[in-house]
Structure 1
């Protein structure tokens, strides 16, 4: 019988080592445990994750929205409501009132004025205060008035835009373009015989040009209707010498109505 180590001898030695507390197998060559710890690779720091970019705001075509809203207005009250609900014009946020119209909607003459000033913004009506008083006197001189029940001698008044710009500044081209569908629909629904454009802003919106001192008194066509550019009453209050030209334009307007 072989006198060397047997299976049982090896097992006995292993059990003896376990009882002594051995928990690692011993190899033929020593292992430097400190070197193993030093050589252990350092875990790579995870790169900070970039937060996802916020979604780009949806761009709204304000002019297209205005066209849709204006086209869907079947009558003047619906158009006024559409303007009240239109939220894409920043000017609206600083204005007190939506200044839509005044006078007789069935009138033969429709006056389109500049954007509302402070008095008009407070009253919610176009052409009030000193400018409105002067306009009423000018119209009365040729037997017209906003309070006339007779459409033949009454006027209907609107503005190139319904909200007062900050500090009474002039509206820019984008703001005028945004409000143009509402203005065109306003004229179409009122259906006057003659349109009077008082000031530069209405001329810019409907005729595509400015220079009221050159344009006044010269008849043009707007939406298939004859139109007459005239000085705004505010201009006449500052330049009284221009009242002579304004009087000539009023006589011309009256002659056209009597044709």
Structure 2
């Protein structure tokens, strides 16, 4: 079996780009190798791995879980089925957070529900003067996040627990979160590989706002004066999020869209 023949085997089963990427991961070859030397033989172990991956990808399993990593903001993060796969729309949360940290000498930031750690680690690397903490209820997710922080050289204090529980008595300049916000029974949960992702990180099992309500309700007790709260949410939750923030005593509640023009992040300050 050659590299060129291996790609042909996957034709009609999975997307051509996915087939190429899986073959590169399985064999260690490059895109240039595939183009210039398609006659290169594929050794048996790599061929077996590639075939297994093609079948799993054809069954809907996300590519990132097959190869164990995904890119976010130009960095490679390890992922597993214990954490959500990084999505580019979360970059909006990072950009808004960085803008609010400008001019602060040593801001304290906490990321609630950190998952693979993409938000906390990105902020720690891009705002190196900050003290960054990250909280998650899942020990398995925290293990992935700690591994990513170590690989990427980010200083993050990881803590286990639910939302603000591990932060008693502490105050922050900024609270950020990408909480579960998909409503139970939403048909999107059955699409685009979501059945393979951790459901507790996708849905609150209720109306999609339960976790946001909990975060907004307790955020003021962990914020410094004039501190900011920012969180990601669903496409139709901007108005509800702003109402929750205003009702909790926050000022200047807003919603910011992602690059597709979809409401993505809401926030406010004390």
Q: Which has the higher strand share?
A: 2
Q: TM-score surpassing 0.5?
A: no
TM-score (norm 2): 0.26
Larger C-alpha radius of gyration, 1 or 2? 1
TM-score (norm 1): 0.27
